[in-house]
């Protein structure tokens, strides 16, 4: 048995003996919360409950995603045309990577926005180009009309 487990067991035995949490906590220099926590675990699990439990979180809401992970998500989207839920299950199945569907959706949305900006700039460019071409054609037409008008006036006057 580990030294920590023996110490916690002694807290609980003294508490059962005295029936007064304040005296036990003062004697050992621990808080009432700590005593209550270990006492509850002891009652539920016995001596196994006095072992340290991992403090690792069960989920990671602010997990960092690398560029490699984002590329995997985009690859599954482009090659197999999967949605965020299916990408989630495929990442877990194929690569052992787990992201929330919201995170996957954010990555997809970010890539679409960047594509959207390129598309938007292209459409603006084509609109501007088309306007320039139209303006140029109008100028040519106007000049032809103007030249035709001058030619007609000259022909009439002669």
Q: What is the pTM of this model?
A: 0.41
Burial string for 123-143 (b: 16+ CB within 10 Å, else e) reads eeeeeeeeeeeeeeeeeeeee
CB 119 within 8 A of CB 131: no
Condensed to tens digits (0 to 9), the pLDDT of residues 30-65 reads 999 999 999 999 999 988 888 988 887 777 767 778
Token pair listed for 152: 């007609």
Phi, psi of 139 (to 5 degrees): -65, -45
Residue of higher predicted confidence among 108 and 62: 108
Q: What is the mean pLDDT of the chain?
A: 78
Residue 26 has pLDDT above 90, yes or no: yes
- At 84 the three-state DSSP class reads helix
For residue 154, what pLDDT is reported?
A: 47
Residue 150 has pLDDT above 80, yes or no: no
Residue 102 has pLDDT above 80, yes or no: yes
CA 88 to chain centre: 12
């Amino acid at each position: 048995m580990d030294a920590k487990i023996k110490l916690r067991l002694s807290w609980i035995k003294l508490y059962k003996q005295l029936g007064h949490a304040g005296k036990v906590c003062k004697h050992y220099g621990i808080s009432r919360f700590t005593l209550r926590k270990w006492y509850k675990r002891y009652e539920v699990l016995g001596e196994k409950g006095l072992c340290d439990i991992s403090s690792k979180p069960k989920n990671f809401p602010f997990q960092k995603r690398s560029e490699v992970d984002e590329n995997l998500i985009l690859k599954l989207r482009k090659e197999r045309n999967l949605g965020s839920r299916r990408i989630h299950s495929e990442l877990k199945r194929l690569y052992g990577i787990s992201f929330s569907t919201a995170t996957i959706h954010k990555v997809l949305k970010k890539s679409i926005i960047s594509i959207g900006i390129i598309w938007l700039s292209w459409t603006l460019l084509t609109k501007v180009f088309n306007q320039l071409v139209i303006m140029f054609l109008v100028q040519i037409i106007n000049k032809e009309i103007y030249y035709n008008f001058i030619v007609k006036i000259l022909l009439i006057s002669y």
